[in-house]
Structure 1
Amino acid sequence: MTTNFLYQLNQHFPHSYAITLSAAKFELGLLSQVSQTLASLHPAIRLLHQDTLVNELDWQANDTLAQAEQTSPVTTIRWIVTLESNTDIHDLPQRVKQIAANNLYHVDINVMPLATLVRPHKLALFDMDSTLIEQEVIVELAKKAGIGEQVDIITESAMRGEIDFAESFTRRVALLKGLSSEVLEDIIANHITFSPGAKRLIRALKNHGYYVVLVSGGFNYFAEYVKNSLGMDESYANDLDIVDNVVTGEITSEIVDGKRKAEILQAVAQRLGIKLSETVAVGDGANDLPMLGLADIGIAYRAKPIVRDQADYAVTVAGLDGVMTVLGLGD
């Protein structure tokens, strides 16, 4: 289905939704039960269209940047459902996900109003750690410094809500005091791997006219490398203080926490003259929730359960280029 067709459909039938299922392998039982779930909306359904998208594999796993070129080994089935009236199908994603969970199906399910799908979007913000790249950089630094266990204790305390992100981050960075800056270079050279499909996704977004920004609670040293490697427009992260090639254990800028990420989204959009209704945000952690909630389309990528539960859309089975499916974009 072409974008123009979907736009015209939305114009004539405003109560329309795009329902997408992405999986490495579709089980007949899943498709049967999803069909039954859709049938339960009858007689509210006026029109039902279906198409199938198949992404071919092009794996080059030995090169970290080539890995960012990988495409997702998934098939996507998309239904466009047009309803007679504004029938509430808000719980449809959860109903379908429950089918998948009960039967151990591994599938991404997203339901998006067609009006959102066809609306032009111009700005996309991405978290870095465990989103654009597969690692948590501060964990890699802690391993090199021999303080992995201490960092884990602080991280777990933050996850239990005993301390906030800013305090947790400050404590963890303080433990890095005395680390040689050569370690940072080694991590970039030997330990950073891009999420599968990352470069394909960023290239596609740029081809479709998006302004693409990296916003991270990590460090600028790594954010700049990732931004430049993927061809993104800007990056925002924390400045790790280094004096005489040694980490001081201090941050010399305002900490980029969840609140700050949302502020950056709003500020960049305002500067570029882009409406919030034209923005997309992608992340995996709890500190991404403010920007996921502020953006018109907030997508949880291989995220923690608390993030998946609160985000409107999620990509778990596919690689990062699965975001293209959610947005309805081609290359």
Structure 2
Amino acid sequence: MKKLINDPKNVVEEMIEGYVRAHPNYIKQLPANDRALVTARETKEGKVGILIGGGSGHEPGFLGYVGEGMADGVAVGNIFASPSPDPILEVTKAIDKGAGVAYLYGNYAGDVMNFGMAAEMADLEEDIKVGMALASDDVASAPKEEKEKRRGIAGEFFIYKTAGAAADFGYNLEEVIRVAKKTNENTRSMGVGVSPCYLPQTGEPSFEIGEDEMEIGLGHHGEPGIEKGKIESADAIADRLVSDILKDIEITSGEEVAVLVNGLGSTPKMDLYIIYRRVEQILNEKGIKIYKSYVGDYITSLEMGGCSVTLMTLDEELTEMIDHPVDCPMFVQK
């Protein structure tokens, strides 16, 4: 393991400091808590605040999506760990403009507990109304009949995108949460891992895998997948990922989707575009239209090798929100 760090105990604080210094026109740290970051730009009164968050190590998720058109603030946790309720509450207070705050986060036990506690404190102590929507797009993490147990992976990006647009459009808190949940319901992801990441504090790999192996359905923190075997060609991997998604969600010929091919940290763009090439071929063969595509590192796992494929089915409302302009340090859409 080789990393460009100082003291492993300080990696999150030093990353946040560097990020804020690099993007002062976009984001600022709140004095009350150094894990609480908010937009540096003024937001209008009466707008629903969008609060995202999760563990570090997923950059550009989650702090990279604070900006115009997406999130108004982010609470940052330790590596692969939920932020505590304190920074979540501080961000909530800072971004509330009188219309309440939407919490958007992945379906993980720590996040569910800490965001839930922060929501209770916001209500009881600050009289701020909070709505919550969870990402649970990972097809591999639970069977369809138990999809409420599924974890959130790269599909979380689409929830930020649509909920952020809904807030900009002037939707109230209940409607923003409705859009976020609708997006999650329309979104499915499936991933493959080919090499582990190494946690700075321990120097240990997040999981074990042979040099000639891959693991289908691996989680973003190294959670076990559903099948391990010899590594296959990019086309065969794309076939498997898309096949599993389409078995789980019905997308008929003529429907439109947004596609995300997401790198996990160390996968070259070359590989990701080769995967995307095959994904597009498969969807074209089935008459499924790609309305918009995203290829790159959107929600990573340090330097893990592999990728995920996400499909989100679109209707008129979600298409308008996918098209909405965004200006964040790590993601711009005009």
Larger radius of gyration: 1
More helix by share: 1
Q: Establish whether TM, by shorter chain, passes 0.5.
A: no
